[in-house]
Amino acid sequence: DWNMPNYIDEAIGRIRARVGNERVILGLSGGVDSSVAAALIHRAIGDQLTCVFVDNGLLRQHEAKQVMETFSRNLAVNVIHIDARRQFLERLQGTSDPEQKRRIIGREFVEIFQQEAARIDDAKWLAQGTIYPDVIESAGSKTQKARTIKSHHNVGGLPDTLHLELLEPLRELFKDEVRELGLALGLPRDLVFRHPFPGPGLGVRILGEVKYEYAELLRQADAIFIEELKYSGWYEKTAQAFAVFLPVKSVGVMGDSRSYEYVIALRAVQTEDYMTAHWAELPYTLLAKISNRIINEVRGINRVVYDISGKPPATIEWE
Ligand code: XMP
């Protein structure tokens, strides 16, 4: 059992002792870990921290705005907001293989981040939201097999051409401790209890080739799904939930005319470790409401299906 105010004081002391008056950069993703790391480091060294937030166009609805509001406006953290939406889409054009898409998104991120980092020419430190399970995972071989099924690109994959020293203040913490710390540092509950979101974002939730039009439809459907899960209390009862865009058209009826539009699949799972997972037994009434709302509110979608596959043999993401 640890004492939070003491822990924060000690962590701040350690960061100050290591960093001194040097500058630190951090890639902010909007996820829990990088957010808590940013808030903690900012508490310790204030304006010596610069965060870089890359909008790759594959984020969820209003996500970029929320990150900027939370960090730049509310916490007064220095955040460089890079709008790279067009650039990512251009690089992804014509690619439909999931692993190839991951490589492109990962490479593009690294490139942009390095460019920005090079501009902050006196930066000496690269901060990351690495947490204890990441540390064990990269040391152990148990997950090595799982990793070869899908390559995972996080901020962690930055090459050391930047010649920066690593600052990882969350390395000893488990996820629930990171969350507790985030709340104590004043981060909004919404952010702290957010489901995990893959580095490649909607890039692996739009099956096949990524297109702007698909991303827009997916964002709208996903936002409705998440809103209804939160409203019904199911968001906290699931470990991860999201919509998937299927680039196939099916026939429907809208009023007195025939429609021919795209399909959205809903995925919600319960899991502790993300290595195995059960599909969440969401109430039929809730599924019905979500389906109705998506079909009525998202123009371009006329069919919604629910994924009832476990992991294994299916994975949590569709790509
Ligand atoms: P799968 O689909 O392999 O997902 O059952 C297990 C967990 O990992 C997340 N995931 C990723 N996270 N980059 C990430 O940062 C990726 O490329 C990636 N692929 C899957 C997935 O969201 C789930 O939480």
Does 185 share its domain with 275?
A: no
Does 173 share its domain with 222?
A: no
Helices (H), 253-302: 284-297
Q: Any known ligand binding at 35?
A: yes
Domain closes at, from 157, 192, 227: 192
- Which residues are CB-contacts of 194 (< 8 A; sequence separation ≥ 6)? 31, 32
Q: Which two tokens stand for residue 268?
A: 């919600």
The residues facing 261 across adjacent strands are 250
Domain closes at, from 192, 219, 248: 192
Q: Is residue 314 part of a domain?
A: no
Q: Whose CA is nearest to atom 17 of ligand 1?
A: 152
**Ligand 1 contact via 274 beta carbon (within 6 Å):** yes
The single-letter code of the amino acid at 319 is E
Does 80 share its domain with 120?
A: yes
Q: Is residue 200 part of a domain?
A: no
Does 146 share its domain with 223?
A: no
Say how far apart CA 205 and CA 195 lie, in whole Å.
15
The ipTM, to two decimals, is 0.99
Does 100 share its domain with 231?
A: no
Cβ proximity of 95 and 211 under 8 Å: no
User: What is the per-residue pLDDT for 138?
Assistant: 72
Q: Is residue 315 part of a domain?
A: no
Q: Which two tokens stand for residue 20?
A: 């001194």
Q: Any known ligand binding at 307?
A: no
Query: Angle at Cα 16 formed by Cα 13 and Cα 17, nearest 5°?
Result: 85
Q: Is residue 73 part of a domain?
A: yes
**Ligand 1 contact via 267 beta carbon (within 6 Å):** no
**Ligand 1 contact via 199 beta carbon (within 6 Å):** yes
Dump the DSSP string for 138-151.
HH-STTHHHHHHS-
- Which residues are CB-contacts of 122 (< 8 A; sequence separation ≥ 6)? 22, 23
Query: Which domain does 141 fall in, by range?
Result: 4-192
Q: Is residue 317 part of a domain?
A: no
Distance 141 CA to ligand 1 centre (A): 18
Q: Tell me the CATH number at 40.
A: 3.40.50.620
Domain closes at, from 169, 192, 215: 192
Q: What is the chain's pLDDT, residue by residue, as a tens digit (319 residues)?
A: 678 889 999 999 999 999 999 999 999 998 999 999 999 999 999 999 999 999 999 999 999 999 999 999 999 999 999 999 999 999 999 999 999 999 999 999 999 999 999 999 889 999 999 999 888 877 754 444 444 455 554 445 566 667 899 999 999 999 999 999 999 999 999 999 999 999 999 999 999 999 999 999 999 999 999 999 999 999 999 999 999 999 999 999 988 999 999 999 999 999 999 999 999 999 999 999 999 999 999 999 999 999 999 999 999 999 9
Nearest alpha-carbon partner for 122 in 209, 207, 19: 19
What is the number of domains present in the chain? 2
Does 152 share its domain with 77?
A: yes
pTM: 0.93
